[in-house]
Amino acid sequence: MPEATGLHQLESVHSVAPLGLRFWDAATDTPVCSGLRVVAYPPWVERGPTMARRSPSGFYGLFGLPGMHAQEYPNGASLAATSPPSSPSTFIVCVDDPGRRFLPIVFGVSLPLQGQLPLPLRATSASGAVVNPYLFSAPSRPVLTGFAAIRADLWDRERDAPASHAVLHVSAAGREATGIADRLGRVLVLLSPPPPESLSLGSPPGAGQGHVVDEYQPLTATAQYEPGRLRMPLEGRASAGIWGEVPALKSVLEAQGFATFWIASDPGQPLQQVATMTGEFAHGRALVLYSNDQKPETHNCRLLISAAGA
């Protein structure tokens, strides 16, 4: 009787992730390849989330999504798929960072993907079955080397409550950056400024030009805030956890109108309503935007804003 010399493959099963995700840091415009928790919910049925699997290269793949059996197993499409049928369906994708570098985000994706997929501000479009959404800095994130940190505690003047999920846009020396407030109204914008002018002067460059931290540059800021236009896709869903209180990223960045700030033009003067806030920042120093004429080291450093149309 001949001795068995090896194993013979009888059949093989190939699976393809119906949705792949690669996340990008909105501050540095670089991939975020680890440390995230990514899940997806089907909106048409109350069930627990589908957890994404991270590849060694930093892509997050979603397998086992309801109704996507034919896309996941293209060679076995005749097998029974889960209900509802695999027609285009929107899934709610939720992203959280246990390391507290980034704010949680929620967004919808229609599967199977067809061509280009538009996503909100600064997000790239889909290529095949890969979506590339941006993540925004949490106020607890450590400041990156070489970046300017602009902070604010945004407060709704009319409601006397935190301006949750307001958007802060900052511009300086041709550079722009965007931050989103957390549910307490706290926002951090990390801005990558150009090198200070003093570094290009002298021989050798920068010699005898003083300290970089003493060189100030002008800055402008605007805000979007309209809480009535925020949409909570998973509000009230028992299995959603923290994501039940997170608005859809698209509604945060696109649906909210531009807000106004309340600031004092001079110390001791009454607050005035303005659409654009101006200031100065220096390298290596955090800038805190606030409404009153107190110094940031003292009490009450809130930046009062009024919602669009208020």
The single residue listed with the structure tokens 């951090």 is 188
Give the domain ranges of the chain: 19-135, 148-306
Residue 160's contacts (CB-CB under 8 Å, 6 or more residues apart) are none
Nearest 5°: CA angle at 46, between 45 and 50? Answer: 90
Phi, psi of 250 (to 5 degrees): -60, -40
Q: What is the largest CA-CA distance in the chain?
A: 102
The token duo for 284 is 């290596």
pLDDT tens across 204-253, in order? 554 445 445 557 788 999 999 999 999 999 998 888 888 899 999 999 99
The token duo for 305 is 């804003």
The token duo for 20 is 């792949």
- Separation of first and last alpha carbons in the chain: 90
pLDDT tens across 40-79, in order? 998 766 777 889 989 888 889 887 777 665 665 566 544 4
Three-class DSSP category at 76: helix
Among 103, 90, 134, 120, which residue's Cα sits nearest to residue 233? Answer: 90
Quick check: pTM over 0.85? no
19-135 to CATH, choices 1.10.1760, 2.60.40, 2.60.120, 3.30.160:
2.60.40
pLDDT confidence of residue 122: 37
The single residue listed with the structure tokens 């009319």 is 158
- β-strand pairing of 105-111 with 30-32: unpaired
pLDDT confidence of residue 109: 84
The token duo for 177 is 């950056």
- 68, 79 in Cβ contact below 8 A? no
The low-confidence residues of the chain, meaning pLDDT below 70, are: 1-18, 44-45, 67-88, 112-130, 193-214, 267, 284, 293-300
pLDDT confidence of residue 128: 43
Rounded CA gap, 141 and 138, in Å? Answer: 5
If one counts every other C-beta atom within 10 angstroms of the C-beta of residue 135, the result is: 21
CA distances from 290 to 186, 207, 250 (A): 12, 35, 27
CA distances from 239 to 63, 96, 108 (A): 19, 15, 17
pLDDT confidence of residue 199: 46
